[in-house]
Structure 1
Amino acid sequence: MNIGIIGLGTVTQGFIEILSEKKNWLQEKYGTHIKLVAVKDIQKGNVYNSNGIDLIELLSKLNNNENLSDGSLSEDTTVASINAIDLIVEATYSDYKTGDPAYTFIKDALSNGKHVVTTNKGPVALRFTELNKIAEENNVSLRYEGTVLSGTPTFSLIEECLAGDEILEIRGILNGTSNYILSKMSEGGSFENALSVAQEKGYAEADPTNDVKGYDARGKVAILSHKVFGVELGLENIPTIGIDAISKEALDTAKNDGKNIRLIGSLKKEGNIITGKVQPEALPTSDALSNIGGVTNAIEITTKYLGKVMITGPGAGKLETGYAVFSDVLTILKNNK
């Protein structure tokens, strides 16, 4: 299988590290090689090698901030147009208004008969129905495990382990930044101080709006709605309240009542109706989600036969999200042997 990468940020570097480490394992397990033949990044440069790019050399150049361009892949040539490529890993940036430029990259790749793995929430939250239809028409896969809980295998759990069960409700801590801030505030810090520390540690962006306003969690609820229930709710139909208006006094009151405030994204099925919302909730310590602190994410799934099932794990990180990409690539590889 030949792979092309669009966007060489932290996530794809983590994926390349894992791919390099697992080269022999892939050959032994699946009897095949996965070759990275093209990479394209607007800042770091472009490379194409039909025989496979040397991953160790590539990682070295990336770590040393060297420009990668060597004339083998022009600016005008899109990764999607390269016939030798079977699968594209898309990891550029996007927004929750248009989903671009990631949306356009994904659409072009699928339209050209390439499987796509992405960690971009915007295109999946906004344009899933359209993109999934293009994938089906071209007999290729669109995978996006890393969009909700980073490398924590949420979709794998739902698709494989819960196959045949009926999911009735999903509740989760879907944003590690907001959870970290609330955890720090419950220890006595102010919102401003907790946010500042989160930014220093790299948990929050310079502009934390998507995290603290609940927009990131809302996007993940939208993704879960069509992944789990086959319903495209639309961001505008998911009531959302962030954590930026929560006072230290409110946290203290909750603590005195034996509760912790957490930003909860949820979906509920009642008959044929699916509803979603994002809001801070004061949860008793008997609630498993109440005890999830720091940047950890968690999802609790209520099913007809098993009752409540919960999965927790890191919501961010180079190797963690890189593993989500690797896992999706393996799924496509297994499904197309």
Structure 2
Amino acid sequence: MEVQVILNGPGRVGMNFARLLLDKADYLRDRTGCSPVLRAVVSSKGTLYSKTGLTLPQVLRWRESPASGTAHNGTGLRNDDCEYLPSESYEEILRKAAYIGPGVVVEATPTDIRSGQPGLDHLITAMNMGFSAITLAKGPLVVSYEHLVSLATQKNVSLKYSGAVAAALPTVDTALYSMAGSEIVEIEGVLNGTTNYILNSMASGKTYGQALAEAQSIGVAESNPTLDVEGFDSAAKLLILANTIWGLGLKLRDVEREGITGLSGEEVRKAAESGTPIRLLASAKLTGDQAGSGRSGWGTGLATCVSGSTARVSLSVKPCPIPAGHPFHALPGTSKAVRFSSKELGDVVVSGGASDVVGAAASALKDLIHIFEERFSRHAWP
């Protein structure tokens, strides 16, 4: 069957997702029985829409044209069986798509971890209209995790967000699938590739400023690196993971946070020379009465069994020296890692994963495959 895909945000990650989706369409069809149709690409300046499905050349031509507005209608897009819609609302675009059949919205707009916008409104609108959703944006989940998960359940749609939590590093999938039914009591992670790169550079003798400039010059760090270097990005990822696993309504203010900007090059270098390299460590630990006699299932806390009425979680992000033998001791470059500690399965460690836009896009494609298999394919779960 055909399943339409609507992409919000044709930035670097979004465009790489579109490329992967169209390049791997035959693979998706063979694996799931579902044929993806890229119905629309939505930007802040308008929407590229096709009743029969967009092709990569069409999307690239529209994305790369030098101006917005009516200039797009002069590029032959309409003659190519697609049209530029500069003024139709997001809801109108989804309504047009809903007449055709089932679909999935992929949210790849820039994230705002304080307001959750614009992705939060996009996700709520899409799920209310019966679309499953994938978000690469962390902001909506940081601000309104409980509401979004509850809405997905209420509307009987899927909500996936691998790309919002360390992207190519399979943090969410490990907790939800590989450790399903176990009681996870602690999470540790190096969840931000930018800060790990900077700390590794400082360990080799560079100052913070030199390491940051180097990271920016090769595209590892943003021009404004505040979210990364002040620990906000790691805190947001940790928060989403903790809410996924324990479902305790945690907020960003619950995370004790310290970034890496206060570290000197000498401090980081000496720590590395002494065999305890410094990492920006994200940590969440279940405290209180966590006997785990509660239920397992697909509620607000999706991955584990805890007694929600008495359980508490301590959350922190801060630079920490890592001793020899610890799984995070050797993490070169932009590498990331996570360790889940559980009562039944012991410690489960996952490390690696690309820290780039292709890795993030691939994580969204993985989520799409899971939605196809769970919701639409001939092998869909009952």
- Equivalent residue in structure 2 for 1:150, among 167, 170, 175: 167
1:17-42 CA-partner distances (Å, limit 9, x unpaired): 21122122222222221101111112
Partners of 1:87 and 1:310 in 2: CA distance: 31
1:296 aligned partner, one-letter code: S
Once the 2 structures are TM-superposed, how far is the Cα of residue 97 of structure 1 from its aligned partner? 1.4
Once the 2 structures are TM-superposed, how far is the Cα of residue 252 of structure 1 from its aligned partner? 3.0
Partners of 1:163 and 1:72 in 2: CA distance: 44
The more displaced of 274-283 and 159-168 is: 159-168
Partners of 1:48 and 1:60 in 2: CA distance: 13
Once the 2 structures are TM-superposed, how far is the Cα of residue 60 of structure 1 from its aligned partner? 5.3
User: Structure 1 residues 63, 47: CA separation in 2 closer, same or farther (over 3 Å shift)?
Assistant: closer
1:60-101 CA-partner distances (Å, limit 9, x unpaired): 554676865654434223133332361111111121211111
Is this contact kept in 2: 1:222–1:232, CA < 8 A?
A: no
1:89-128 mapped onto 2 (5 Å cutoff): 89-128=106-145
- Alignment of 1:312 onto 2:312: no
The more displaced of 219-228 and 53-62 is: 53-62
- Alignment of 1:18 onto 2:20: yes
1:81 aligned partner, one-letter code: R
Is this contact kept in 1: 2:10–2:42, CA < 8 A?
A: yes
Partners of 1:278 and 1:130 in 2: CA distance: 25
Equivalent position of 2:59 in the other structure: 58
Is this contact kept in 1: 2:34–2:372, CA < 8 A?
A: no
2:95 aligned partner, one-letter code: S
User: Structure 1 residues 197, 252: CA separation in 2 closer, same or farther (over 3 Å shift)?
Assistant: closer
Equivalent position of 1:284 in the other structure: 323
1:99-138 CA-partner distances (Å, limit 9, x unpaired): 1111111111111111110100111011111112222221
- Equivalent residue in structure 2 for 1:138, among 155, 159, 164: 155
Once the 2 structures are TM-superposed, how far is the Cα of residue 231 of structure 1 from its aligned partner? 2.0
- Equivalent residue in structure 2 for 1:193, among 210, 220, 227: 210
The DSSP-based 3-state class of the residue aligned with 1:290 is coil
1:42 aligned partner, one-letter code: S
User: Structure 1 residues 290, 65: CA separation in 2 closer, same or farther (over 3 Å shift)?
Assistant: farther
The DSSP-based 3-state class of the residue aligned with 2:318 is strand
- Equivalent residue in structure 2 for 1:324, among 346, 363, 372: 363
Equivalent position of 2:104 in the other structure: 87
Partners of 1:98 and 1:205 in 2: CA distance: 20
Q: Which runs of 5+ in 1 are unaligned?
A: none
The more displaced of 156-165 and 177-186 is: 156-165
The DSSP-based 3-state class of the residue aligned with 2:328 is helix
Over alpha carbons, which structure has the higher Rg? 2
- Equivalent residue in structure 1 for 2:268, among 247, 251, 261: 251
User: Structure 1 residues 217, 302: CA separation in 2 closer, same or farther (over 3 Å shift)?
Assistant: same
2:15 aligned partner, one-letter code: Q
The more displaced of 71-80 and 168-177 is: 71-80
The DSSP-based 3-state class of the residue aligned with 2:256 is coil
The DSSP-based 3-state class of the residue aligned with 1:239 is strand
User: Structure 1 residues 72, 60: CA separation in 2 closer, same or farther (over 3 Å shift)?
Assistant: closer
Once the 2 structures are TM-superposed, how far is the Cα of residue 308 of structure 1 from its aligned partner? 1.5
Is this contact kept in 2: 1:143–1:328, CA < 8 A?
A: yes
Equivalent position of 2:374 in the other structure: 335
Count of aligned positions:
336
Is this contact kept in 1: 2:133–2:158, CA < 8 A?
A: yes
Partners of 1:51 and 1:42 in 2: CA distance: 23
Partners of 1:180 and 1:65 in 2: CA distance: 35
User: Structure 1 residues 334, 113: CA separation in 2 closer, same or farther (over 3 Å shift)?
Assistant: same
Name the Cα RMSD after superposition.
Answer: 1.8
**TM-score scaled by length of structure 1:** 0.94
1:21 aligned partner, one-letter code: D
Is this contact kept in 2: 1:17–1:59, CA < 8 A?
A: no
Once the 2 structures are TM-superposed, how far is the Cα of residue 183 of structure 1 from its aligned partner? 0.4
1:258-294 CA-partner distances (Å, limit 9, x unpaired): 2100000011112322111100001112211121121
Is this contact kept in 2: 1:149–1:315, CA < 8 A?
A: no
User: Structure 1 residues 285, 75: CA separation in 2 closer, same or farther (over 3 Å shift)?
Assistant: farther
- Alignment of 1:171 onto 2:172: no
1:73 aligned partner, one-letter code: L
**TM-score scaled by length of structure 2:** 0.83
Once the 2 structures are TM-superposed, how far is the Cα of residue 253 of structure 1 from its aligned partner? 3.0
